[in-house]
A and B are shown apart, each in its own frame.
Chain A
């Protein structure tokens, strides 16, 4: 079955960057897109962007443009999301999800604190 396993929790200083990984299995990696979603504490879901696992093309939400970088490594069926210039507002759980039915990872908590 489709599985997405994300990297563990991170604590970062303001101004730093964080890179979250999303290892996939159970399907042919390259045929899909991976989406990234942010959920701040007690808040709703916010779509951040997608990456085509086939071409590497990306599209990000206006809010995150210039700060988010999405990449993938097809050799290990893993997608990555890097968010730069972190502030306390970026403290959140970050999810990856594979399209065509949206299969979700378990989430990665990123805490931004000095």
Chain B
């Protein structure tokens, strides 16, 4: 089973831009891993921001975007707001017959 890696913590200034990344121990992350990004605030259920690499839900703020970059999945926040301070988790699917899903360890994003 793959290990999915994320930065443990990042800090961004209000109005600033930051990119969170999501790597896989098995090699480059591709669209075939169907990367997901979730936001979780204390005491709340996770909320899906991005699915299938770069697709947004109706509730996803426009300042969030998903991509593939340098063999990893990325979540870019452009114009950070104080309410974006949260934990962010990525998730990847294994391809093939298993259809096992693996979460990354999460990134604690501080807006300061």
Contact = CB atoms under 8 A, between A and B. Distances in A.
Interface of A: 35, 37, 44-47, 50, 59, 61-62, 95, 100-107
Task: Give the size range of B's interface with the partner.
Answer: 20 to 34
Contacts, number: 49
Contacts of B48: 101-104
A101 B46 contact: no
Q: Is the interface of B mostly helix, strand, loop or mixed?
A: strand
Interface of B: 1, 36, 38, 40, 45-48, 51, 55, 57, 87, 89, 91, 98-106
A102 B51 CA distance: 8
A47 B45 CA distance: 14
A104 B47 contact: yes
Nearest to A1: B58
A34 to B, nearest CB: 12
Nearest to B47: A104
A44 B46 CA distance: 11
